[in-house]
Amino acid sequence: MFKKIAKRDGKIANFNPEKITDAIAAAGAATEEFKYDRAKQLTEKVLTRAEKEITSRTPSVEQIQDIVEEVLMESKFKRTAKAYITYRQERNRTRDAKSNLMNVYKTISLADASEDSDVKRGNANVDGNSAMGKMLQFGAEGSKAFAKTVLLKPEFAYAHDNGDIHIHDLDFYATGTLTCCQTDPLKLFEHGFNTGHGHLRTPNSIGSYTALAAIILQANQNEQHGGQSIPNFDYAMAPGVDKSFKKALKSNLEKYNEFTNKKINVEIPEDIKYGEDERLKKLKIPGEVINASSKDVEKQTFQALEGFVHNLNTMHSRAGAQVPFTSINFGTDTTPSGRLVSKSLLEATMKGLGKGETPIFPISIFKVKEGINYNPEDPNYDLFKRSMEVSAKRLFPNFTFIDAPFNLQYYKPGDYRTEIATMGCRTRVFSSVFPESDGIITGRGNTSWTTINLPRLGIKHGICLNERKEAD
């Protein structure tokens, strides 16, 4: 009889036959095929065979378990044999996952993100060398291991590890949150909103509009694991331009009266908008005041959009280790204020960051529509032309086409909610099985998906089909 046994970690322990009996009995109890007495009889067969087949005085745990499998398979208790083998495989998979996880943790702790480390460079907008970046990676890799060993069926976990499929955002599999969301700032700005840490009132200038838009994207990124998108950016920011223009009018009119000693007492209409020069002239507002106010708001809008771009490339989310993954859709608002927003965004993107670097965020998507910006006679054609020039240098904006048949069927003139918009990852969330949201882009999101490795399937089964044809 053996005195010692080698464990999987290399340690030597006392050999205890009762542990074999307990394992066999547990399998028998699970299938209800036999009880403890029968397990003792089967253990005797295991020990007899082990003494004959194992030459070492100190067998390994794996050698003993192999013989247990053989004895059970040769017995009449086939269901128990299958249960034991399955349990053993699951235990091995769990141990392997733990071992692999420790190796991954070692890489996270010691490797540099600038080195060729797939783990530390898995997310381009996470600083893998920062303390919080490492903590995020520890949590992500641990969560992946948990999902694969506990939540997923073994065949799905194997397919993922083998590259047959790819389960996206596996680290968030257990959380059940949405991946991406397309938020309508107009709805949030109407009555103000709460980030969970404080209430923000309705903004009253273009600078506040863009600042709060950045906060919306940042706050939502902290609640979800996917990208954040504004599908109607030019429409949503345009009211901020109008509010700033109205302020500029009042301020410049006061200055005009002060320096000219004139007393032009005109009540600025509450609904006045940037670009309504003729309306203002009819109210007897001097052209100098109108022009100065327009220049003021144009400068403010560019500065606001430049700040927006800079914010989205520097502000942090997810425990301070990642910039929000953001995208904005624009280009179809034909009002003067909406056009100014689009123009300023393009110019801010072209200008780049502090040292001229190309901004990574927001990923901007220019919406193309015949009759709006596609043809030279269209009101926003100049913006479309400029967007292509900017994209040629800065990679952004991307483009999406409303006139594509699968998008055009939902389009309703004048309703920005029916204009196709995408996430930065090109995700299209538009059609729906629910009538109230079918063809509505705002307030929509998506959950994580799974990619099937079609090239591998094609290579594998395509060859089989060719061989079959040749055989025929």
Rounded to whole angstroms, the Cα distance separating 272 from 245 reads: 8
**Tens of pLDDT, residues 150-171:** 888 888 988 998 889 999 888 8
> Peptide bond preceding 362: is omega within 30 degrees of 0, i.e. cis?
yes
- Helix, strand or coil, per DSSP, at residue 161: helix
Domain boundaries, position 216: 180-446
Mean predicted confidence (pLDDT) in 407-429: 89
Query: Residues for the chain: how many in total?
Result: 472
Higher-pLDDT residue of 218 and 98 is: 218
Residue 286's pLDDT is 93
- The answer to whether 241 and 301 have CB atoms below 8 angstroms apart is yes
- The answer to whether 201 and 192 have CB atoms below 8 angstroms apart is yes
Rounded to whole angstroms, the Cα distance separating 85 from 49 reads: 18
> What CA–CA distances, in Å, run from 295 to 285, 290, 299, 348?
16, 9, 6, 17
448 pLDDT higher than 70: yes
Q: Which of 25-34, 112-121, 148-157, 219-228 has the largest mean confidence?
A: 25-34
Percentage of the chain exceeding pLDDT 70: 90
The end-to-end CA distance of the chain, in Å, is: 60
Q: Are 200 and 312 in a shared domain? A: yes
Q: Are 254 and 298 in a shared domain? A: yes
Count of helix runs (H) and strand runs (E) in the chain: 15, 12
Which of 45, 80, 89, 79 lies closest to 64, judged by CA?
A: 45
Q: Are 160 and 194 in a shared domain? A: no
**Tens of pLDDT, residues 35-83:** 999 999 999 999 999 999 988 889 999 899 999 999 999 999 999 999 8
Q: Are 203 and 219 in a shared domain? A: yes
Looking at every residue in the chain, the average pLDDT score rounds to: 87
Rounded to whole angstroms, the Cα distance separating 209 from 187 reads: 12
Which of 286, 308, 289 lies closest to 297, judged by CA?
A: 289
Q: What is the pTM of this model?
A: 0.73
User: For the chain, how long is the longest CA-to-CA vector?
Assistant: 116
Number of domains in the chain: 3
Q: Are 142 and 212 in a shared domain? A: no
Mean predicted confidence (pLDDT) in 125-134: 66
Is residue 126 a part of any domain in this protein? yes
- Single residue among 152, 172, 192 that ends a domain in this structure: 172
Q: Are 61 and 189 in a shared domain? A: no
CATH number at residue 335: 3.20.70.20
Rounded to whole angstroms, the Cα distance separating 213 from 188 reads: 10
Look up residue 141 and give its two tokens. Answer: 């890799």
For the chain, state the CA radius of gyration.
33
- If you search the block for the tokens 């009880």, which residue do you land on? 35
Rounded to whole angstroms, the Cα distance separating 362 from 30 reads: 56
